[in-house]
Each structure stands twice: as structure tokens, then as C-alpha cells.
Amino acid sequence: MPGPAPSSQSPVPEYTPLTLGDILHFLKANYAALAVGAAIVVLVAAGLAMYVMQQRRNAERASQMLLVAQSPKQWEELLAQHPDATVAPIALLALASSQYGAGAYDQALATYSQFQEKYPRHMMALAAELGKIQCQEGRGEIEAAFSGYGQFVGMHPDHFLTPQALFGQARCLQIMHRYPEAKVIYEDFITAHPKSEWVPQAEFAMRYLDRDIRASAHDATAVTNVPAGQP
């Protein structure tokens, strides 16, 4: 049985990028046919192309490091090696987040502030603002954090991070033993946004809140039932 008919189209040759040496060799071999101005244009274009390629390679390396970095030290190394990479702002936020996760709230606060100073117009600038409030909460500055979360919600009611600020308010209320107010925040959010991706987090937090409410009620009942005359 005859095999398939050969394709009328010739195979596409593999693309091999030109190097600066290739271009210089071409210019030397054809200097008589090229005007000086044209040669300069070619060299400048080649230099720009090589610069763009190098920047792209740097960005790719930084992006790969971004995927595997986990500890504050790894984020710091990434930023030190690629301070001007496209992913540098995200890496700086990730550094602050990892510092926060490690309990280094003062360092995280400083890193978030550094992000705001260096990238004030970045699309994730509000994430740094919210991160600073979370650092206040982590340091035990509950009233200040509660106020900060409230201001964030008031100034950015439609931002995608606003639910996190609402939940922050609820956590602060829970720490201050203002349980009914905290529960209202979760319940109102779930009712208003039943299909939100944040609903599972709200439901999970509310289960812990209910546990605290039951524990508080149990403690109150125990105190009430203590016989008179006992300490």
C-alpha cells in the first residue's frame, strides 16, 4: 500500500535568533553596499533587540524564582538579584506577606511601607495598605487596626480586598469580646454576597466565632452557679 503523498509544502525551518556577531560579520562582508548611516541603524536596532531579549530572559528567571520562593530569605534574594524585574513589586509584597506569616510584624510593616513608597501607583498598592493594618492587628494594636479596617471599607467599598477588611473588623470585634457585632458582619456579608469566593472564609471564621460565643456563655454560667461564699 503506497504511503501518504508527500506534502507540497516544504518544512518550516527552525528559527535561530541572530547574534551581534552574525550582524557584524554581515556588515564586514557587505560594507561596500551599505551606507554608513544604514550600518549604524542596523547596529542600534541589533543592540536594542539584544537588550530586550536579555531583559526578557531576566524576567523569565525572576518569574521562575517567584514560583519557588517561600521564605523571607528567598524573597530577599530574588529582590537583590532582580530589583528592576517586572515581578519585583509582587516579590516585595510576597516578602512582606512571608514576614507577616513568620510573626515578624515590624519587618512586614516596614516592607509594606517600602512598597507604597516605591510603587505608589501600582495596581496592588491597596494590598500594601491593607497589609499594614493587618500588621497592627498582629502586633496587638486592636483598636487601631479596627479603625484602620473601617477606614479602608469606607474609602474603598467596591475594591476586591474590601471583604478582607470587613473580616478584619470582625476579628478585632471578636478579640474585644464584642461577639454579636462580629457575627453580624459575617452574616451580612454572606447574605449580601452569597456567590462570593470569600463566603467559605466567612463561614469558616463564623464557626470559630460561634465556638468563642459558646465558651463565653459557658464561663458566664459557671460563674453564676458558684455557691455563695466560695472564691
pLDDT digits (tens, 9 = 90+) for 197-230: 999 999 999 999 999 999 988 766 655 555 555 5
Q: What is the pLDDT of residue 202?
A: 95
Question: Residue 127 has which C-alpha cell?
Answer: 494590598
* Cell numbers at 186, concatenated: 459575617
Residue ending a domain, choose from 67, 83, 105: 67
Write out pLDDT tens, residues 54-75.
445 544 454 444 444 456 677 6
Contacts made by residues 51-57, CB under 8 angstroms, sequence distance 24+: 53/17
pLDDT at 31 (0 to 100): 44
Q: Which domain holds residue 147?
A: 141-218
Q: Do residues 153 and 192 share a domain?
A: yes
Cβ-based neighbours of 22, under 8 Å, separated by 6 or more: none
In a domain? residue 132: no
d(CA 137, CA 105): 9
Q: In terms of domains, do 146 and 119 share one? A: no
pTM flag (> 0.75): no
Q: Report residue 16 CA to chain centroid gap.
A: 36
Whether 226 is covered by a domain: the verdict is: no
Helix residue spans in 69-178 (DSSP H)? 72-81, 88-101, 105-118, 125-138, 142-155, 162-175
pLDDT score at 95: 85
> Residue 116: inside a domain, yes or no?
yes
In whole angstroms, give the CA distance from residue 226 to residue 231: 8
What are 149-190's pLDDT values in tens digits?
A: 999 999 999 999 999 999 999 999 999 999 999 999 999 999
Q: Taking all residues of the chain, what is their mean pLDDT, rounded to a whole number?
A: 75
Torsion from C-alpha of 116, 120, 121, 125, nearest 10 degrees: 20
